Structure 1
Amino acid sequence: MKKSKRTKNRIERILWLVVLCCLGGTASYLFLRQRWEREEESKAKFVHFTAFGIDIPTGYSIHGIDVSSHQELIAWQEVRAMKINNTRLGFVFIKATEGLNDTDKRFKQNWEKAKAAGMVCGAYHFFLANKSGALQAQNFISQVKLTKGDLPPVLDIEELYGVKPDSMRSRIREWLVAVEKAYGVKPIIYSYADFYKRNLGRAFDAYPLWVAHYFEQESPHVNRPWTFWQHSDAGHVNGVRSVTDFNVFNGDSLEWQKILLK
Protein backbone atom coordinates (compact mmCIF):
# COMPACT_ATOMS: atom_id res chain seq x y z
CA MET A 1 0.00 0.00 0.00
CA LYS A 2 2.83 2.39 0.91
CA LYS A 3 4.71 1.46 -2.27
CA SER A 4 1.59 2.18 -4.33
CA LYS A 5 1.24 5.59 -2.67
CA ARG A 6 4.91 6.43 -3.34
CA THR A 7 4.44 5.43 -6.98
CA LYS A 8 1.35 7.61 -7.23
CA ASN A 9 3.19 10.58 -5.72
CA ARG A 10 6.10 10.06 -8.10
CA ILE A 11 3.75 10.03 -11.09
CA GLU A 12 2.02 13.20 -9.86
CA ARG A 13 5.40 14.96 -9.50
CA ILE A 14 6.37 13.90 -13.01
CA LEU A 15 3.06 15.15 -14.39
CA TRP A 16 3.47 18.49 -12.63
CA LEU A 17 6.99 18.74 -13.97
CA VAL A 18 5.70 18.11 -17.50
CA VAL A 19 2.98 20.75 -17.05
CA LEU A 20 5.49 23.30 -15.75
CA CYS A 21 7.84 22.56 -18.66
CA CYS A 22 4.99 23.03 -21.14
CA LEU A 23 3.94 26.29 -19.52
CA GLY A 24 7.53 27.50 -19.50
CA GLY A 25 7.98 26.52 -23.13
CA THR A 26 4.76 28.31 -24.12
CA ALA A 27 5.76 31.45 -22.22
CA SER A 28 9.20 31.41 -23.84
CA TYR A 29 7.64 30.96 -27.29
CA LEU A 30 5.22 33.85 -26.76
CA PHE A 31 8.01 36.09 -25.46
CA LEU A 32 10.26 35.28 -28.41
CA ARG A 33 7.35 35.64 -30.84
CA GLN A 34 6.44 39.10 -29.51
CA ARG A 35 10.08 40.15 -29.59
CA TRP A 36 10.42 38.95 -33.19
CA GLU A 37 7.26 40.79 -34.24
CA ARG A 38 8.49 44.01 -32.62
CA GLU A 39 11.75 43.68 -34.51
CA GLU A 40 9.93 42.95 -37.78
CA GLU A 41 7.61 45.93 -37.30
CA SER A 42 10.62 48.12 -36.54
CA LYS A 43 12.19 47.01 -39.81
CA ALA A 44 8.96 47.72 -41.68
CA LYS A 45 8.87 51.25 -40.29
CA PHE A 46 12.11 52.00 -42.08
CA VAL A 47 10.83 50.84 -45.48
CA HIS A 48 10.30 54.06 -47.43
CA PHE A 49 9.82 54.88 -51.09
CA THR A 50 10.01 58.16 -52.96
CA ALA A 51 7.01 57.14 -55.10
CA PHE A 52 4.37 54.43 -55.37
CA GLY A 53 6.34 52.93 -58.25
CA ILE A 54 3.33 52.66 -60.57
CA ASP A 55 1.14 54.96 -62.62
CA ILE A 56 -1.77 56.17 -60.50
CA PRO A 57 -4.98 56.58 -62.52
CA THR A 58 -6.14 60.19 -62.71
CA GLY A 59 -9.65 61.33 -61.96
CA TYR A 60 -10.03 59.34 -58.73
CA SER A 61 -9.81 60.85 -55.28
CA ILE A 62 -10.09 57.78 -53.04
CA HIS A 63 -7.23 55.29 -53.15
CA GLY A 64 -6.44 52.11 -51.26
CA ILE A 65 -4.65 48.79 -51.17
CA ASP A 66 -5.44 45.16 -50.37
CA VAL A 67 -3.26 42.84 -48.32
CA SER A 68 -2.91 39.38 -46.88
CA SER A 69 -0.25 37.49 -44.94
CA HIS A 70 1.86 37.55 -48.12
CA GLN A 71 2.75 41.16 -47.25
CA GLU A 72 4.11 39.90 -43.90
CA LEU A 73 4.15 42.35 -40.99
CA ILE A 74 3.03 45.86 -41.96
CA ALA A 75 3.80 49.21 -40.30
CA TRP A 76 0.33 50.68 -40.76
CA GLN A 77 1.14 54.17 -39.47
CA GLU A 78 3.71 54.47 -42.28
CA VAL A 79 1.15 53.28 -44.85
CA ARG A 80 -1.38 55.88 -43.76
CA ALA A 81 1.15 58.71 -43.60
CA MET A 82 2.58 58.20 -47.10
CA LYS A 83 1.52 60.94 -49.51
CA ILE A 84 2.73 61.37 -53.08
CA ASN A 85 1.41 64.24 -55.26
CA ASN A 86 -1.68 64.66 -53.06
CA THR A 87 -2.46 60.93 -53.26
CA ARG A 88 -2.86 59.22 -49.91
CA LEU A 89 -4.09 55.69 -49.19
CA GLY A 90 -7.32 55.76 -47.22
CA PHE A 91 -8.76 52.25 -47.35
CA VAL A 92 -7.64 48.63 -47.28
CA PHE A 93 -9.23 45.29 -48.03
CA ILE A 94 -7.73 42.60 -45.78
CA LYS A 95 -7.85 38.87 -46.40
CA ALA A 96 -9.82 37.21 -43.61
CA THR A 97 -10.62 33.64 -44.62
CA GLU A 98 -10.27 31.02 -47.33
CA GLY A 99 -12.34 27.94 -48.09
CA LEU A 100 -14.08 26.04 -45.32
CA ASN A 101 -11.74 26.48 -42.37
CA ASP A 102 -8.70 28.65 -43.11
CA THR A 103 -8.13 32.06 -41.52
CA ASP A 104 -5.37 34.35 -42.76
CA LYS A 105 -2.72 34.30 -40.03
CA ARG A 106 -2.35 38.08 -40.04
CA PHE A 107 -6.00 39.04 -40.39
CA LYS A 108 -6.71 40.09 -36.80
CA GLN A 109 -3.41 41.92 -36.46
CA ASN A 110 -3.86 43.75 -39.78
CA TRP A 111 -7.47 44.58 -38.96
CA GLU A 112 -6.72 46.07 -35.56
CA LYS A 113 -3.58 47.98 -36.53
CA ALA A 114 -4.93 49.31 -39.85
CA LYS A 115 -7.98 50.70 -38.05
CA ALA A 116 -5.80 52.20 -35.32
CA ALA A 117 -3.82 53.97 -38.05
CA GLY A 118 -7.00 55.53 -39.47
CA MET A 119 -7.57 53.27 -42.47
CA VAL A 120 -11.11 52.36 -43.56
CA CYS A 121 -11.14 48.56 -43.54
CA GLY A 122 -12.91 45.81 -45.42
CA ALA A 123 -12.50 42.03 -45.17
CA TYR A 124 -12.51 39.48 -47.96
CA HIS A 125 -12.97 35.73 -48.32
CA PHE A 126 -10.97 33.76 -50.89
CA PHE A 127 -13.52 31.47 -52.53
CA LEU A 128 -12.92 27.82 -53.39
CA ALA A 129 -15.41 26.99 -56.14
CA ASN A 130 -15.30 23.25 -55.42
CA LYS A 131 -16.51 23.69 -51.81
CA SER A 132 -19.87 24.52 -50.25
CA GLY A 133 -20.70 28.21 -50.50
CA ALA A 134 -22.83 28.07 -47.37
CA LEU A 135 -20.06 26.52 -45.26
CA GLN A 136 -17.51 29.00 -46.61
CA ALA A 137 -19.86 31.80 -45.62
CA GLN A 138 -19.98 30.45 -42.07
CA ASN A 139 -16.19 30.43 -41.95
CA PHE A 140 -16.13 34.12 -42.90
CA ILE A 141 -18.97 35.13 -40.58
CA SER A 142 -17.34 33.37 -37.62
CA GLN A 143 -14.11 35.36 -38.04
CA VAL A 144 -15.22 38.82 -39.21
CA LYS A 145 -17.08 41.31 -37.06
CA LEU A 146 -18.02 44.38 -39.09
CA THR A 147 -19.11 47.66 -37.51
CA LYS A 148 -20.25 51.12 -38.59
CA GLY A 149 -17.82 52.74 -41.01
CA ASP A 150 -16.41 49.48 -42.36
CA LEU A 151 -16.56 48.45 -46.00
CA PRO A 152 -19.01 45.71 -47.04
CA PRO A 153 -17.79 42.09 -47.00
CA VAL A 154 -16.06 40.83 -50.14
CA LEU A 155 -16.11 37.52 -52.01
CA ASP A 156 -12.87 36.96 -53.96
CA ILE A 157 -13.48 34.67 -56.96
CA GLU A 158 -10.53 33.84 -59.19
CA GLU A 159 -10.61 30.17 -60.25
CA LEU A 160 -13.01 27.39 -61.22
CA TYR A 161 -11.01 24.67 -59.44
CA GLY A 162 -12.20 22.12 -61.99
CA VAL A 163 -15.94 22.64 -61.52
CA LYS A 164 -18.42 23.82 -64.12
CA PRO A 165 -19.35 27.53 -64.11
CA ASP A 166 -22.97 26.68 -63.23
CA SER A 167 -21.87 24.83 -60.10
CA MET A 168 -19.57 27.67 -59.13
CA ARG A 169 -22.34 30.24 -59.60
CA SER A 170 -24.68 28.18 -57.42
CA ARG A 171 -22.12 28.09 -54.61
CA ILE A 172 -21.41 31.79 -55.02
CA ARG A 173 -25.12 32.51 -54.50
CA GLU A 174 -25.08 30.45 -51.30
CA TRP A 175 -22.22 32.54 -49.94
CA LEU A 176 -23.72 35.86 -50.98
CA VAL A 177 -27.15 35.12 -49.53
CA ALA A 178 -25.77 33.90 -46.19
CA VAL A 179 -23.36 36.81 -45.80
CA GLU A 180 -25.93 39.44 -46.78
CA LYS A 181 -28.29 38.01 -44.19
CA ALA A 182 -25.58 38.07 -41.51
CA TYR A 183 -24.40 41.66 -42.10
CA GLY A 184 -27.48 43.30 -43.60
CA VAL A 185 -25.63 44.61 -46.66
CA LYS A 186 -24.96 43.33 -50.16
CA PRO A 187 -21.44 41.86 -50.39
CA ILE A 188 -18.94 43.04 -53.00
CA ILE A 189 -17.73 40.59 -55.63
CA TYR A 190 -14.04 40.69 -56.57
CA SER A 191 -12.75 39.08 -59.75
CA TYR A 192 -10.54 39.59 -62.77
CA ALA A 193 -12.28 41.29 -65.68
CA ASP A 194 -11.88 38.38 -68.08
CA PHE A 195 -12.82 35.71 -65.52
CA TYR A 196 -15.92 37.67 -64.51
CA LYS A 197 -17.02 38.04 -68.12
CA ARG A 198 -16.49 34.36 -69.01
CA ASN A 199 -17.80 32.69 -65.85
CA LEU A 200 -20.14 35.03 -63.97
CA GLY A 201 -21.79 36.95 -66.80
CA ARG A 202 -24.87 39.00 -65.95
CA ALA A 203 -26.03 36.78 -63.08
CA PHE A 204 -24.53 38.99 -60.37
CA ASP A 205 -25.05 42.48 -61.75
CA ALA A 206 -27.04 43.40 -58.62
CA TYR A 207 -23.88 43.18 -56.51
CA PRO A 208 -21.16 45.82 -56.30
CA LEU A 209 -18.10 44.83 -58.34
CA TRP A 210 -14.44 45.15 -57.43
CA VAL A 211 -12.66 44.35 -60.67
CA ALA A 212 -9.00 43.58 -61.30
CA HIS A 213 -7.73 44.83 -64.65
CA TYR A 214 -4.10 45.86 -65.03
CA PHE A 215 -2.23 48.00 -67.57
CA GLU A 216 -5.27 50.23 -68.19
CA GLN A 217 -4.85 54.00 -67.92
CA GLU A 218 -8.30 55.37 -67.12
CA SER A 219 -10.71 52.57 -66.18
CA PRO A 220 -11.16 48.80 -66.35
CA HIS A 221 -12.78 47.25 -69.41
CA VAL A 222 -15.86 45.54 -68.02
CA ASN A 223 -19.41 45.63 -69.39
CA ARG A 224 -21.19 46.61 -66.20
CA PRO A 225 -20.93 49.26 -63.47
CA TRP A 226 -18.04 48.80 -61.05
CA THR A 227 -17.29 50.16 -57.59
CA PHE A 228 -13.60 49.38 -57.02
CA TRP A 229 -10.80 48.88 -59.51
CA GLN A 230 -7.62 47.00 -58.71
CA HIS A 231 -5.38 48.67 -61.28
CA SER A 232 -1.99 47.27 -60.26
CA ASP A 233 -0.41 44.42 -58.32
CA ALA A 234 3.06 45.97 -58.20
CA GLY A 235 2.82 49.15 -56.10
CA HIS A 236 5.21 50.25 -53.37
CA VAL A 237 4.01 51.54 -50.01
CA ASN A 238 5.92 52.83 -47.01
CA GLY A 239 5.82 50.25 -44.23
CA VAL A 240 5.33 47.28 -46.58
CA ARG A 241 8.36 45.32 -47.72
CA SER A 242 6.73 43.50 -50.66
CA VAL A 243 4.81 44.80 -53.67
CA THR A 244 1.17 45.61 -53.01
CA ASP A 245 -2.11 45.68 -54.93
CA PHE A 246 -3.45 49.20 -55.56
CA ASN A 247 -7.11 50.17 -55.92
CA VAL A 248 -9.35 53.15 -56.54
CA PHE A 249 -12.97 53.81 -55.60
CA ASN A 250 -15.29 54.81 -58.42
CA GLY A 251 -16.99 57.82 -56.85
CA ASP A 252 -16.66 60.98 -54.79
CA SER A 253 -16.69 61.47 -51.04
CA LEU A 254 -20.50 61.51 -50.85
CA GLU A 255 -20.77 58.20 -52.70
CA TRP A 256 -18.01 56.85 -50.49
CA GLN A 257 -20.03 57.54 -47.36
CA LYS A 258 -23.01 55.74 -48.87
CA ILE A 259 -21.10 52.49 -49.37
CA LEU A 260 -19.81 52.28 -45.79
CA LEU A 261 -21.71 50.25 -43.23
CA LYS A 262 -24.25 52.23 -41.25
Structure 2
Amino acid sequence: MAQASNKYIAWKIILLSMGVGMVVMLGFAAYDWWMERRAHFVRYPEFGIDIPVNYTIHGIDVSKYQDVIDWESVRDMRVGNVQLGFAFIKATEGLGNEDALFQRNWKKSKHAGLVRGAYHFFLATKSGKAQAENFINSVELSPGDLPPVLDIEQTYGVPADKLRERARDWLLTIQEYYHVTPIVYTNVDFYRQFLKDDFDGFPLWVAHYLQKERPRTYREWTFWQHSELGRVNGIVTRVDFDVFNGDSVEFKKLLVN
Protein backbone atom coordinates (compact mmCIF):
# COMPACT_ATOMS: atom_id res chain seq x y z
CA MET A 1 0.00 0.00 0.00
CA ALA A 2 2.81 2.39 0.91
CA GLN A 3 4.57 1.69 -2.41
CA ALA A 4 1.36 2.37 -4.38
CA SER A 5 0.82 5.57 -2.44
CA ASN A 6 4.35 6.73 -3.20
CA LYS A 7 3.85 6.03 -6.92
CA TYR A 8 0.57 8.02 -6.86
CA ILE A 9 2.31 10.97 -5.22
CA ALA A 10 5.17 10.78 -7.72
CA TRP A 11 2.74 10.85 -10.63
CA LYS A 12 0.94 13.82 -9.12
CA ILE A 13 4.25 15.67 -8.80
CA ILE A 14 5.15 14.85 -12.41
CA LEU A 15 1.77 15.93 -13.76
CA LEU A 16 1.81 19.09 -11.66
CA SER A 17 5.31 19.93 -12.91
CA MET A 18 4.22 19.36 -16.50
CA GLY A 19 1.17 21.58 -15.96
CA VAL A 20 3.24 24.35 -14.44
CA GLY A 21 5.73 24.05 -17.28
CA MET A 22 2.99 24.37 -19.89
CA VAL A 23 1.51 27.40 -18.15
CA VAL A 24 4.95 29.04 -18.03
CA MET A 25 5.56 28.28 -21.73
CA LEU A 26 2.16 29.67 -22.67
CA GLY A 27 2.87 32.72 -20.57
CA PHE A 28 6.13 33.39 -22.38
CA ALA A 29 4.44 32.81 -25.76
CA ALA A 30 1.63 35.21 -24.87
CA TYR A 31 4.14 37.78 -23.67
CA ASP A 32 6.16 37.52 -26.92
CA TRP A 33 2.95 37.79 -28.95
CA TRP A 34 1.85 40.90 -27.08
CA MET A 35 5.27 42.55 -27.28
CA GLU A 36 5.46 41.87 -31.01
CA ARG A 37 2.05 43.46 -31.53
CA ARG A 38 2.98 46.43 -29.37
CA ALA A 39 6.21 46.83 -31.28
CA HIS A 40 4.25 47.38 -34.50
CA PHE A 41 2.31 50.30 -33.04
CA VAL A 42 4.37 53.28 -31.91
CA ARG A 43 3.08 56.31 -30.04
CA TYR A 44 3.64 59.54 -31.93
CA PRO A 45 2.79 62.45 -29.60
CA GLU A 46 2.94 64.87 -32.53
CA PHE A 47 0.15 62.96 -34.29
CA GLY A 48 -1.64 62.27 -31.00
CA ILE A 49 -2.11 58.55 -31.68
CA ASP A 50 -0.37 55.20 -31.96
CA ILE A 51 0.61 54.47 -35.56
CA PRO A 52 1.23 51.05 -37.13
CA VAL A 53 4.82 51.48 -38.28
CA ASN A 54 4.97 48.17 -40.16
CA TYR A 55 3.18 50.01 -42.99
CA THR A 56 5.05 52.60 -45.00
CA ILE A 57 2.33 54.58 -46.80
CA HIS A 58 0.17 56.71 -44.51
CA GLY A 59 -2.75 59.02 -45.19
CA ILE A 60 -5.87 60.72 -43.87
CA ASP A 61 -9.49 61.19 -44.87
CA VAL A 62 -11.35 64.47 -44.52
CA SER A 63 -14.61 66.29 -45.12
CA LYS A 64 -16.08 69.70 -44.35
CA TYR A 65 -15.95 68.77 -40.66
CA GLN A 66 -12.19 69.30 -40.74
CA ASP A 67 -12.88 72.95 -41.72
CA VAL A 68 -10.44 74.83 -43.98
CA ILE A 69 -7.22 72.81 -44.34
CA ASP A 70 -3.70 74.12 -44.93
CA TRP A 71 -2.61 71.34 -47.26
CA GLU A 72 1.01 72.49 -47.47
CA SER A 73 1.31 72.05 -43.69
CA VAL A 74 -0.24 68.59 -43.98
CA ARG A 75 2.29 67.66 -46.66
CA ASP A 76 5.28 69.03 -44.75
CA MET A 77 4.57 67.31 -41.43
CA ARG A 78 7.04 64.49 -40.93
CA VAL A 79 7.72 62.67 -37.68
CA GLY A 80 10.43 60.03 -37.85
CA ASN A 81 9.63 57.87 -40.86
CA VAL A 82 5.94 58.82 -40.93
CA GLN A 83 4.77 61.35 -43.50
CA LEU A 84 1.29 61.63 -44.99
CA GLY A 85 1.21 60.78 -48.66
CA PHE A 86 -2.47 60.50 -49.58
CA ALA A 87 -5.86 61.89 -48.62
CA PHE A 88 -9.39 60.63 -49.22
CA ILE A 89 -11.76 63.60 -49.52
CA LYS A 90 -15.52 63.53 -49.17
CA ALA A 91 -17.13 64.60 -52.44
CA THR A 92 -20.84 63.84 -52.32
CA GLU A 93 -23.67 62.32 -50.30
CA GLY A 94 -26.98 60.91 -51.45
CA LEU A 95 -28.64 62.35 -54.53
CA GLY A 96 -27.86 66.05 -54.64
CA ASN A 97 -25.36 66.95 -51.97
CA GLU A 98 -21.77 67.97 -52.54
CA ASP A 99 -19.49 68.47 -49.55
CA ALA A 100 -19.14 72.21 -48.94
CA LEU A 101 -15.33 72.08 -49.00
CA PHE A 102 -14.82 69.34 -51.59
CA GLN A 103 -13.77 71.50 -54.52
CA ARG A 104 -11.28 73.42 -52.39
CA ASN A 105 -9.84 70.27 -50.84
CA TRP A 106 -9.72 68.51 -54.18
CA LYS A 107 -7.72 71.29 -55.80
CA LYS A 108 -5.49 72.26 -52.87
CA SER A 109 -4.48 68.71 -51.95
CA LYS A 110 -3.27 68.06 -55.50
CA HIS A 111 -1.37 71.37 -55.61
CA ALA A 112 0.34 70.36 -52.36
CA GLY A 113 1.50 67.14 -53.97
CA LEU A 114 -0.59 64.62 -52.05
CA VAL A 115 -2.24 61.72 -53.82
CA ARG A 116 -5.97 62.39 -53.59
CA GLY A 117 -9.09 60.25 -53.68
CA ALA A 118 -12.79 61.19 -53.61
CA TYR A 119 -15.51 59.33 -51.74
CA HIS A 120 -19.31 59.27 -51.79
CA PHE A 121 -21.36 58.78 -48.61
CA PHE A 122 -24.04 56.27 -49.57
CA LEU A 123 -27.70 56.52 -48.57
CA ALA A 124 -29.24 53.06 -48.88
CA THR A 125 -32.73 54.55 -49.21
CA LYS A 126 -31.85 56.13 -52.57
CA SER A 127 -31.10 54.85 -56.05
CA GLY A 128 -27.51 53.68 -56.42
CA LYS A 129 -27.30 54.80 -60.03
CA ALA A 130 -28.69 58.26 -59.25
CA GLN A 131 -26.16 58.64 -56.42
CA ALA A 132 -23.40 57.65 -58.83
CA GLU A 133 -24.54 60.41 -61.18
CA ASN A 134 -24.28 62.88 -58.31
CA PHE A 135 -20.67 61.82 -57.76
CA ILE A 136 -19.85 61.95 -61.47
CA ASN A 137 -21.23 65.50 -61.72
CA SER A 138 -18.84 66.65 -58.97
CA VAL A 139 -15.66 64.64 -59.45
CA GLU A 140 -13.25 64.86 -62.37
CA LEU A 141 -10.44 62.35 -61.99
CA SER A 142 -6.90 62.89 -63.24
CA PRO A 143 -4.00 60.49 -63.74
CA GLY A 144 -2.41 59.78 -60.38
CA ASP A 145 -5.66 59.99 -58.41
CA LEU A 146 -6.99 57.15 -56.29
CA PRO A 147 -10.09 55.29 -57.53
CA PRO A 148 -13.53 56.54 -56.39
CA VAL A 149 -14.79 55.23 -53.05
CA LEU A 150 -18.24 54.12 -51.95
CA ASP A 151 -18.61 54.89 -48.23
CA ILE A 152 -21.35 52.56 -46.99
CA GLU A 153 -21.91 52.32 -43.25
CA GLN A 154 -25.66 52.21 -42.50
CA THR A 155 -28.74 50.37 -43.75
CA TYR A 156 -31.30 53.06 -42.80
CA GLY A 157 -33.75 50.18 -42.41
CA VAL A 158 -33.35 48.98 -46.00
CA PRO A 159 -33.32 45.17 -46.40
CA ALA A 160 -29.86 43.74 -46.98
CA ASP A 161 -30.60 42.45 -50.48
CA LYS A 162 -31.92 45.85 -51.60
CA LEU A 163 -28.94 47.61 -50.02
CA ARG A 164 -26.53 45.34 -51.89
CA GLU A 165 -28.40 45.88 -55.15
CA ARG A 166 -28.22 49.67 -54.86
CA ALA A 167 -24.59 49.63 -53.75
CA ARG A 168 -23.72 47.40 -56.71
CA ASP A 169 -25.52 49.82 -59.06
CA TRP A 170 -23.35 52.67 -57.75
CA LEU A 171 -20.14 50.71 -58.13
CA LEU A 172 -20.87 49.45 -61.64
CA THR A 173 -22.02 52.87 -62.86
CA ILE A 174 -18.83 54.45 -61.52
CA GLN A 175 -16.68 51.69 -62.96
CA GLU A 176 -18.23 52.09 -66.40
CA TYR A 177 -17.84 55.88 -66.38
CA TYR A 178 -14.28 56.21 -65.04
CA HIS A 179 -12.92 52.88 -66.37
CA VAL A 180 -11.40 52.05 -63.00
CA THR A 181 -12.47 49.63 -60.26
CA PRO A 182 -13.90 51.62 -57.33
CA ILE A 183 -13.12 50.99 -53.67
CA VAL A 184 -15.61 49.99 -50.96
CA TYR A 185 -15.26 51.64 -47.54
CA THR A 186 -17.00 50.26 -44.47
CA ASN A 187 -16.25 48.78 -41.05
CA VAL A 188 -15.46 45.12 -40.41
CA ASP A 189 -18.83 44.28 -38.85
CA PHE A 190 -20.93 45.98 -41.53
CA TYR A 191 -19.03 44.19 -44.28
CA ARG A 192 -19.51 40.81 -42.64
CA GLN A 193 -23.20 41.31 -41.85
CA PHE A 194 -24.49 43.07 -44.96
CA LEU A 195 -22.05 43.02 -47.89
CA LYS A 196 -20.43 39.61 -47.55
CA ASP A 197 -19.04 37.86 -50.63
CA ASP A 198 -20.97 39.99 -53.14
CA PHE A 199 -18.30 42.71 -52.96
CA ASP A 200 -15.09 40.72 -52.61
CA GLY A 201 -14.13 41.74 -56.15
CA PHE A 202 -13.70 45.38 -55.12
CA PRO A 203 -10.74 46.75 -53.16
CA LEU A 204 -11.65 47.21 -49.51
CA TRP A 205 -10.91 50.21 -47.33
CA VAL A 206 -11.86 49.01 -43.87
CA ALA A 207 -12.38 50.85 -40.59
CA HIS A 208 -11.33 49.07 -37.42
CA TYR A 209 -10.13 51.03 -34.41
CA LEU A 210 -8.31 49.88 -31.28
CA GLN A 211 -6.91 46.96 -33.25
CA LYS A 212 -3.19 46.35 -33.39
CA GLU A 213 -1.24 45.17 -36.41
CA ARG A 214 -4.12 44.76 -38.89
CA PRO A 215 -7.92 44.95 -39.11
CA ARG A 216 -9.88 41.85 -38.13
CA THR A 217 -11.44 41.00 -41.46
CA TYR A 218 -11.58 37.67 -43.27
CA ARG A 219 -10.83 39.05 -46.75
CA GLU A 220 -7.99 40.94 -48.36
CA TRP A 221 -7.97 44.67 -47.73
CA THR A 222 -6.27 47.63 -49.40
CA PHE A 223 -6.62 50.50 -46.92
CA TRP A 224 -7.11 50.45 -43.15
CA GLN A 225 -8.62 53.34 -41.22
CA HIS A 226 -6.99 52.62 -37.87
CA SER A 227 -7.81 55.78 -35.89
CA GLU A 228 -10.26 58.67 -35.86
CA LEU A 229 -8.34 60.75 -33.32
CA GLY A 230 -5.24 61.88 -35.19
CA ARG A 231 -3.69 65.34 -35.15
CA VAL A 232 -2.05 66.92 -38.19
CA ASN A 233 -0.44 70.28 -38.78
CA GLY A 234 -2.77 72.40 -40.89
CA ILE A 235 -5.98 70.79 -39.58
CA VAL A 236 -7.69 72.25 -36.51
CA THR A 237 -9.83 69.19 -35.69
CA ARG A 238 -9.20 65.53 -35.08
CA VAL A 239 -8.81 63.52 -38.28
CA ASP A 240 -9.00 59.90 -39.43
CA PHE A 241 -5.70 58.11 -40.11
CA ASP A 242 -5.21 55.38 -42.70
CA VAL A 243 -2.51 53.08 -44.06
CA PHE A 244 -2.08 51.35 -47.40
CA ASN A 245 -1.53 47.60 -47.35
CA GLY A 246 1.44 47.38 -49.65
CA ASP A 247 4.57 49.06 -50.94
CA SER A 248 5.07 52.03 -53.26
CA VAL A 249 5.01 49.87 -56.39
CA GLU A 250 1.64 48.35 -55.44
CA PHE A 251 0.31 51.78 -54.48
CA LYS A 252 1.25 53.22 -57.89
CA LYS A 253 -0.52 50.34 -59.64
CA LEU A 254 -3.75 51.26 -57.85
CA LEU A 255 -3.79 54.83 -59.14
CA VAL A 256 -5.75 56.10 -62.13
CA ASN A 257 -3.72 55.98 -65.35
Quickly name the TM-score band, shorter chain normalised: 0.7 to 0.9
Q: Which of 138, 146, 150 does residue 151 from structure 1 map onto?
A: 146
State the secondary structure of the residue aligned to 1:234: strand
Partner of 2:126: 131
Q: 2:234 aligned with 1:248, yes or no? A: no
Q: TM-score, normalised by structure 1?
A: 0.81
State the secondary structure of the residue aligned to 1:203: helix
Amino acid at match of 1:196: Y
Partner of 1:96: 91
State the secondary structure of the residue aligned to 1:66: strand
Per-residue CA deviations over 1:91-140 (Å, capped at 9, x if unaligned) read 00000000000000000000111111111000000000010000000000
In the aligned structure 1, how far is the partner of 2:212 from the partner of 2:200? 24
Amino acid at match of 2:105: N
Deviation at 1:53, TM superposition (A): 0.5
Note the aligned Cα RMSD (angstroms): 0.9
Per-residue CA deviations over 1:191-221 (Å, capped at 9, x if unaligned) read 0111111110111000000000001110000
Deviation at 1:50, TM superposition (A): 5.8
Partner of 2:254: 259
Partner of 2:115: 120
Per-residue CA deviations over 1:130-184 (Å, capped at 9, x if unaligned) read 1000000000001100010000000000000111111100000110110000000
In the aligned structure 1, how far is the partner of 2:197 from the partner of 2:48? 35
Map 1:1-262 to 2 at 5 A.
51-262=46-257
Partner of 1:41: none
In the aligned structure 1, how far is the partner of 2:53 from the partner of 2:105? 28
State the secondary structure of the residue aligned to 1:65: strand
In the aligned structure 1, how far is the partner of 2:216 from the partner of 2:81? 26
Amino acid at match of 2:199: F
Per-residue CA deviations over 1:211-245 (Å, capped at 9, x if unaligned) read 00001110000010000000000000001000000
Deviation at 1:58, TM superposition (A): 2.0
Point out 4+ residue stretches in structure 1 off by more than 3 angstroms: none
Q: Max radius of gyration: which structure? A: 2
Count of matched residue positions in the alignment of Structure 1 and Structure 2? 214
In the aligned structure 2, how far is the partner of 1:85 from the partner of 1:254? 22
State the secondary structure of the residue aligned to 1:141: helix
Percent of aligned pairs sharing the same letter: 57
Amino acid at match of 2:254: I
In the aligned structure 1, how far is the partner of 2:188 from the partner of 2:64? 24
Q: TM-score, normalised by structure 2?
A: 0.82
In the aligned structure 2, how far is the partner of 1:98 from the partner of 1:84? 34
In the aligned structure 1, how far is the partner of 2:105 from the partner of 2:67? 10
State the secondary structure of the residue aligned to 2:227: strand
Per-residue CA deviations over 1:26-73 (Å, capped at 9, x if unaligned) read xxxxxxxxxxxxxxxxxxxxxxx9610100002101000000000000
Partner of 1:24: none
